[in-house]
A and B are shown apart, each in its own frame.
Chain A
Amino acid sequence: MCEYCEIAEGGRGAFKIFEDDKVLAILSQSPASFGHVLVMPKSHHHIIEQVPDFLLSHLMIVSSKLMVCLFEGLNADGTNLIISNGIAAGQTEPHFMLSLVPRRENDGINLQWHPKQASPEELSTVELELSDFTRKIGEFEKEKPKPIVMDEEKTSDDMESDDNSVRVRHLTRIP
């Protein structure tokens, strides 16, 4: 099972910063800087193209608020949000995630690229080449309303006690 799915399901520990029913934010264990947060959906997707639109919107809203926390809690002077989408982009984990990286003066992180000069003709060509693929963009997937469940949501305490009772049952079966 994917390491991050395990964390999302509570089977593996992590330094959680935020969690709700759909998304999870944890501290990176191999951070680019102090306070590097990984924000991810709980559901397993490899790349952004596979993540539902409404879930991406939710991830972005959570990331935006977490950035405020990085500024306030860790005195960051800036932040980067970066998604390495696909191996060619340097993605190393098989679970889609956003990296939020607090930045400080002279922190030694280099995320600059060498800009090229594009002539107006070249840009027009690109515009044309892309138009077939961008023209249809516009329908965004909304979350389907969930059926109303009257039962109270399970808290993590309940889950723990469930877990215990399973263990206890298991013990009583041992002759």
Chain B
Amino acid sequence: MDQNCIFCQIAQGKVAAKRVYDDEKCAAVLDINPAAKGHMLLLPKTHAAVLPQLHPEEAGHLLAVAKSLSNALLRAYKAGGTTIFLANGAVAGQRAPHLMIHIIPRFEGDGLGLILPKKGIAPDDLQKCQELLLPKVSKAFGLSEDIVAKWKVTVEKMPPKITEANAEQKTPPAGPEAQPVQDNSKKEVDLDMISRLFK
């Protein structure tokens, strides 16, 4: 714990905040400047500024908790979805020196933005990008060069990206496979419905 970090203190319960979740590894509080009603901040209890600094076990735990918190927002506010957002570095929009995951309830047409732009890219540039990344991946995951080399593809072999125009035929119609998602509890909010909107 960093004594000077206000979010460490919040996570540890030493500074008052509206806590919505707490366990030995992390805590979630309500954002006092929310993007929308119910906006939560999920904070690891150990101090880390960016995700790669956090112990993998703790990092992994955060996303499992984020799922449950997202689920709570869908149910409590009948939200149409959630945005789960993390920023590493000031250029990415990080404002505090403590890692946090934002969980924001979303509604159709809420005008919040938070949508990634979709830009075009030449296949050659994708290949270049892959070549730059694979040696680092090999190092980060301790994989042999041979294994990562198998992931390389030549541009010629790449199928064309499914465009918006032909995506409609590509997406199967509301099929029976989408329907019976193992429903294990009394749910007022229909997760199937949220997920089935794709069809």
Query: Chain A: residues with CB nearer than 8 A to chain B?
Result: 1, 3, 12-19, 27, 29-36, 46-51, 53-54, 56-61, 63-74, 76-91, 94, 99, 101, 103-105, 107-118, 122-124, 126-127, 129-134, 137-138, 140-141, 156
Against A, the Cβ 8 Å flags (1 = close, 0 = not) of B29-47 are: 0111111111000000000
- Closest residue of chain A to B118 (Cβ to Cβ) is A30
Q: Known contacts being A29-B121, A46-B195, A67-B51, is A74 close to B116, with CB within 8 Å? A: no
Structural contact, A60 and B63, CB atoms closer than 8 A: yes
Query: Chain B: residues with CB nearer than 8 A to chain A?
Result: 18-21, 23, 28, 30-38, 50-52, 54, 56, 59-77, 79-94, 104, 106-108, 110, 112-121, 125-127, 129-130, 132-137, 140-141, 150-151, 153, 157-159, 161-162, 170-172, 178, 181, 191, 194-199
Structural contact, A126 and B83, CB atoms closer than 8 A: no
Structural contact, A61 and B56, CB atoms closer than 8 A: yes
- Closest residue of chain A to B141 (Cβ to Cβ) is A65
Give the docked Cα–Cα distance between A118 and B17 (Å): 13
- Closest residue of chain A to B170 (Cβ to Cβ) is A3
Give the docked Cα–Cα distance between A112 and B112 (Å): 9
Given contacts A73-B136, A89-B80, A122-B37, 14 further A-B contacts (CB under 8 A): A15-B126, A15-B158, A36-B116, A48-B82, A65-B52, A70-B133, A73-B135, A86-B195, A86-B197, A103-B92, A111-B113, A112-B113, A129-B77, A134-B68
Binding site of A, secondary structure by majority: helix, strand, loop or mixed? Answer: mixed
Give the docked Cα–Cα distance between A46 and B193 (Å): 11
Structural contact, A127 and B18, CB atoms closer than 8 A: yes
Give the docked Cα–Cα distance between A94 and B134 (Å): 27
A32 partner residues in chain B, CB cutoff 8 A = 116-119
Binding site of B, secondary structure by majority: helix, strand, loop or mixed? Answer: mixed
Structural contact, A51 and B137, CB atoms closer than 8 A: no
Structural contact, B81 and A84, CB atoms closer than 8 A: yes
A123 partner residues in chain B, CB cutoff 8 A = 18, 30, 32
In the complex, the 8 A-B pairs of residues with the closest C-beta atoms, listed nearest first:
A86-B81, A78-B89, A88-B80, A57-B60, A46-B195, A78-B92, A115-B33, A89-B81
B75 partner residues in chain A, CB cutoff 8 A = 133
Structural contact, B70 and A15, CB atoms closer than 8 A: no
A118 partner residues in chain B, CB cutoff 8 A = 30-34, 37
Structural contact, A78 and B90, CB atoms closer than 8 A: yes
Structural contact, B197 and A72, CB atoms closer than 8 A: no
Give the docked Cα–Cα distance between A108 and B64 (Å): 31
Structural contact, B86 and A82, CB atoms closer than 8 A: yes
Give the docked Cα–Cα distance between A81 and B6 (Å): 23
The 28 sampled A-B contact pairs (Cβ below 8 Å) are A27-B129, A30-B161, A51-B67, A53-B67, A54-B64, A57-B60, A57-B63, A60-B60, A64-B54, A65-B137, A67-B52, A78-B94, A79-B51, A80-B87, A82-B85, A87-B80, A87-B108, A88-B80, A88-B81, A88-B108, A89-B81, A89-B82, A111-B114, A126-B37, A130-B20, A134-B20, A137-B69, A138-B23
